[in-house]
């Protein structure tokens, strides 16, 4: 690796672990990134196509080489098809995750999921009511079964629209109808996106992008929203909870177990097994002080939000955390799990377990979790983790953990406000809080790890902008100390006053990436309270270090829901100026919001602040000049 650790990550644990990894001669994501350089310029611009076997083809951006693929597709068509397929993959990932949860809900209703239960009955009933299911004097399990059945209907083609779009403000829904992007079945939109991008189907770059928007909306107001709601029903709706973040959450004298991936279906059962008194006693009999469960990425966020389980790291830290030598077992479900992890673990005693029938990895032991066996399997495997404690070699835990508060579901935020969004709106009207921004998404080795998240968030809260965050961005800000009782020192005077009075940090952890829908629900509540559309509010979104196709789907549904969104890394679209112009300007006329791309977080903060002040002016509120 030719770069210095400080150029790679701003985090102390990351820098120290990079040094350790080098000493241990590990190959990391940064080494592999470097070995790929220079990456393909055609692909970076979205100008290569391998959709059919007359290709692969590419279009020359300088006008000298070929301008069309073998089939005759030009740059606009090729870029639009590639982007559409990114959205389809992202939407499919979130939505398939949602479907897995619905299947657990159905299994619970049938009494075929030992260990799982309905934890939030109130939420079950309120969501069931939204689906038109009567809940009076009805058995809880019957309601759960009916809801699972109705939600399965949202995935298919039986309905004209998906159910939960009813949560969007009326004006927004009318706009979607007018533009022709109202999402129908969740699977239908993804399937249609794939169909349209087959050779010789939709060759209108603009109509392809409209389908991409409809597909993304089927994720945001469909698959992801179902994932979040069913997770709350099964495992509890998050409430503010104390937690810790960074690699210092590992404990040298405990059996350490990590969960990595996205779906709480597995990690919740691992948590229960780790709390089982018999297994804890077993761990003590092996010389450990206890069992320490910690999270990585979004399944970590799910456990953090609901139980305060500590967070070891975000996406780019997942290889390095194994190099601590302190991890007895790592459970992987799916999404964002680097296929390199199993290889890294072969250098240590760490046992790697893959758990999903749809996600296999090299050098991992495969044990499939299903609703009927998950509880028992979790116990068996956690016992194996305990047995592995005695195989530990040298342990290196580089830092002390950072305290943080998590658990800010919409219900928790409204609860802190006294049950209505009014106090938040009053603070916005009074100008004490200028607006709110959702900072979301990943890490990406093209950029300095966590630099974009931390500096953007710091800039926003300094300027009295409330930040809500999710996913790997939320982990970055927790590690940076923006989510604990000391964090108000970073906030501007107005934000400090309001958050201080409410007893909350200036950056609210709203969960995993599917939980970005909580931001949609909150934005809708604010819009409804003001009798306006989401696009009129002083809100914005940002994905400063995004890498995944899921992040693209999130960005598209955010913009389509009326939220101006600033991306750090440029998506592969620069091969088509028509598409760049549509996404960064034209969408304003169609959907009332656009994308911007700005990798420098300080400049991104300026863009966002200007946007927020403009929206304030539009609402007749005081507006500051931003320079």
Where on the chain is the footprint of ligand SF4 (CB under 6 A)?
49-52, 54-57, 69-71, 73, 78, 199
Residue 496: name its binding partner from ligand BF8, ligand SF4, none (Cβ under 5 to 8 Å by kind).
none
**How far apart, in whole angstroms, are the C-alpha atoms of residue 88 and residue 91?**
5
Question: Torsions phi, psi of 254, nearest 5?
Answer: -115, 160
Task: Report the residue from 21, 247, 352, 472 that binds ligand BF8 according to the rule CB under 6 A.
Answer: 472
Q: What is the DSSP string of 216-281?
A: HHHIIIIIHHHHHHHHHHHH-----EEEEESGGGS-TTSEEEEEESS-HHHHHHHHHHHH-HHHHH
- Spatial separation of the C-alpha atoms in residues 210 and 560, rounded to whole Å: 10
Nearer Cβ to ligand BF8, position 151 or 513? 513
Q: Are 389 and 287 in contact (CB under 8 A)?
A: yes
Q: Name the token pair of 298.
A: 């979004």
The entry of ligand SF4, ligand BF8, none near residue 71 (CB within 5 to 8 angstroms by kind) is ligand SF4
Question: 543 or 607: whose CB is closer to ligand BF8?
Answer: 543
DSSP annotation of 488: G
Which residues lie closer than 8 Å to 121 by C-beta, 6 or more apart?
Answer: 140
Cα–Cα distance between 365 and 260 in angstroms, integer?
A: 15
54 contacts which partner out of ligand SF4, ligand BF8, none, CB within 5 to 8 A by kind?
Answer: ligand SF4
Q: Supply 335's token pair.
A: 């999404």
The option from ligand SF4, ligand BF8, none interacting with 299 (CB < 5 to 8 A, set by class) reads none
Q: How far apart are CA 572 and CA 595, in angstroms?
A: 14
CB of 495 to ligand BF8, least distance (A): 25
Q: Which is nearer to ligand BF8, 254 or 550 (CB)?
A: 550
As to burial, measured by CB atoms within 10 angstroms (0-12 exposed, 13-18 middle, 19+ buried), residue 326 is buried
Nearest distance, CB of residue 446 and ligand SF4, angstroms? 26
- Sign of the CA dihedral running 287, 288, 290, 293: negative
Nearer to ligand BF8, 325 or 568 (CB): 568
Classify 100 as helix, strand or coil. Answer: helix
Helix-then-strand count for the chain, H and E: 27, 16
CB of 559 to ligand BF8, least distance (A): 17
Dihedral of CA 319/321/326/328: which sign? negative
Q: How far is the CB of 47 from ligand SF4 (least distance, A)?
A: 10
Q: Which stretch binds ligand BF8 (CB under 6 A): 458-466, 518-526, 544-552, 596-604?
A: 544-552
Smallest distance from ligand BF8 to CB 514, Å: 7
Q: Among ligand SF4, ligand BF8, none, what does residue 14 contact (CB within 5–8 Å per kind)?
A: none
Shortest Cβ distance from residue 541 to ligand BF8 (Å)?
13
Closest separation in Å from C-beta 74 to ligand SF4 = 9
Tokens of 625: 């000049």
Choose the one of ligand SF4, ligand BF8, none that binds residue 472, judging by a C-beta under 5 to 8 angstroms depending on kind: ligand BF8
From the list 46, 325, 401, 471, which residue makes contact with ligand BF8 (rule: CB under 6 A)? 471
Element at 540 (helix H, strand E): strand 539-543
- Closer Cβ to ligand SF4, 6 or 50, answer by number: 50
Residue 55 contact among ligand SF4, ligand BF8, none, beta carbon within 5 to 8 Å by kind: ligand SF4
Q: Which is nearer to ligand SF4, 80 or 162 (CB)?
A: 80
Of 235 and 547, CB closest to ligand BF8: 547
Q: Is the CB of 341 or the CB of 499 nearer to ligand BF8?
A: 341
Q: Which among 199, 191, 194, 208 has a CA at the least distance from the CA of 50?
A: 199
Pairing of the two strands 48-49 and 57-58: antiparallel
Q: Which of residues 483-512 bind ligand BF8 (CB under 6 A)?
A: 512
57 binds, among ligand BF8, ligand SF4, none (CB under 5 to 8 A by kind): ligand SF4
With CB under 5 to 8 Å by kind, the binding choice for 272 among ligand SF4, ligand BF8, none is none
Please select the residue that binds ligand BF8; options are 298, 326, 344, 427, rule is CB under 6 A.
298
Q: Is 91 in the site for ligand BF8 (CB under 6 A)?
A: no
Contact segment (CB under 6 A) with ligand BF8 among 28-36, 111-119, 446-454, 547-555 equals: 547-555
- Decide: is 551 part of the binding site for ligand BF8 (CB under 6 A): yes
559 is an interface residue for ligand BF8 by CB under 6 A: no
| Main-chain phi, psi angles of 521, to 5 degrees | -65, -40
Tokens 């931390």, located at residue: 454
Residue list 393-412, contact with ligand BF8 (CB under 6 A): none
340 binds, among ligand SF4, ligand BF8, none (CB under 5 to 8 A by kind): none
User: Strands across the sheet with 329-332, in order?
Assistant: 365-366, 351-354, 329-332, 255-260, 291-296, 310-313, 241-245, 402-406
Task: Give the side-chain half-sphere CA count within 13 A for 422.
Answer: 3
The most distant pair of C-alpha atoms in the chain lies apart, rounded to whole Å, by 72
Q: Which residue has the tokens 């507006």?
A: 623
Closest CB to ligand SF4 among residues 54, 577: 54
548 forms part of the interface with ligand BF8 (CB under 6 A): yes
Tell which one of 336, 382, 460, 507 touches ligand BF8 (CB under 6 A): 336
User: What tokens were used for 91?
Assistant: 């939407």
Residues at the site binding ligand BF8, with contacts judged by CB under 6 A:
262, 297-298, 314-315, 336, 441-442, 471-472, 512-513, 548, 550-551
């Amino acid at each position: 690796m030719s770069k210095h650790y400080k150029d790679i990550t701003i985090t102390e644990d990351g820098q120290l672990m990079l040094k350790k990894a080098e000493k241990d001669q590990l190959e990391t994501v940064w080494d592999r990134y470097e070995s790929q350089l220079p990456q393909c310029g055609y692909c970076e611009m979205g100008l290569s196509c391998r959709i059919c076997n007359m290709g692969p083809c590419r279009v020359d951006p300088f006008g000298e080489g070929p301008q069309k693929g073998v089939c005759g597709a030009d740059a606009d068509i090729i870029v639009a098809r590639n982007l559409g397929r990114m959205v389809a993959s992202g939407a499919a990932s979130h939505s398939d995750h949602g479907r897995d949860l619905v299947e657990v809900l159905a299994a619970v209703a049938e009494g075929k999921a030992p260990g799982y239960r309905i934890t939030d009955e109130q939420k079950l009933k309120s969501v069931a009511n939204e689906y038109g299911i009567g809940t009076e004097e009805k058995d809880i399990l019957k309601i759960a079964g009916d809801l699972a059945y109705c939600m399965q209907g949202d995935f298919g083609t039986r309905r004209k629209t998906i159910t939960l779009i009813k949560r969007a403000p009326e004006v927004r829904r009318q706009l979607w109808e007018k533009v022709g992007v109202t999402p129908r079945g969740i699977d239908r939109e993804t399937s249609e996106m794939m169909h349209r991008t087959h050779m010789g189907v939709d060759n209108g770059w603009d109509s392809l992008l409209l389908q991409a928007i409809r597909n993304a909306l089927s994720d945001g107001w469909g698959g992801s929203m179902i994932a979040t709601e069913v997770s709350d029903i099964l495992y509890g709706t998050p409430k503010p909870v104390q937690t810790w973040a960074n690699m210092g959450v590992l404990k040298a004298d405990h059996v350490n177990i990590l969960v990595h991936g996205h779906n709480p279906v597995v990690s919740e059962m691992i948590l229960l097994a780790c709390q089982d008194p018999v297994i804890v006693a077993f761990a003590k009999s092996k010389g450990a002080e206890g069992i320490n469960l910690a999270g990585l990425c979004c399944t970590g966020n799910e456990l953090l939000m609901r139980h305060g389980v500590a967070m070891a790291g975000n996406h780019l830290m997942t290889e390095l955390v194994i190099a601590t030598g302190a991890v007895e077992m790592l459970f992987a479900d799916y999404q964002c799990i680097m296929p390199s992890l199993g290889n890294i673990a072969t250098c240590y005693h760490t046992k790697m377990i893959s758990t999903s029938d749809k996600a296999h990895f090299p050098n991992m032991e495969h044990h499939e979790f299903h609703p009927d066996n998950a509880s028992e399997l979790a116990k068996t495997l956690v016992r194996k983790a305990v047995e592995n404690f005695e195989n530990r070699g040298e342990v290196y835990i580089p830092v002390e953990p950072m305290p943080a508060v998590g658990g800010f579901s919409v219900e928790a935020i409204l609860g802190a406000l006294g049950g209505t969004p009014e106090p938040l709106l009053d603070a916005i009207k009074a100008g004490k809080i200028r607006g709110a921004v959702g900072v979301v998404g990943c890490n990406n080795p093209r950029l300095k790890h966590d630099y974009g998240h931390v500096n953007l968030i710091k800039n926003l809260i300094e300027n009295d902008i409330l930040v809500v965050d999710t996913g790997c961005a939320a982990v970055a800000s927790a590690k940076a100390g923006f989510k604990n009782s000391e964090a108000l020192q970073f906030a501007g005077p107005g934000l400090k006053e309001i958050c201080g009075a409410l007893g909350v940090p200036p950056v609210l952890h709203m969960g995993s990436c599917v939980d970005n829908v909580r931001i949609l629900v909150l934005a809708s509540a604010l819009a409804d309270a003001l009798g306006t559309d989401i696009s009129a509010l002083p809100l914005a979104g940002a994905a400063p270090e995004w890498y995944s196709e899921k992040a693209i789907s999130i960005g598209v549904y955010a913009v389509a829901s009326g939220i101006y969104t600033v991306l750090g890394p440029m998506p592969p679209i620069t091969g088509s100026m028509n598409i760049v112009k549509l996404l960064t300007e034209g969408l304003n006329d169609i959907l009332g919001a656009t994308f911007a791309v700005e990798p420098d977080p300080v400049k991104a903060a300026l863009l966002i602040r200007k946007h927020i002040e403009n929206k304030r002016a539009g609402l007749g509120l005081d507006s500051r000049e931003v320079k």
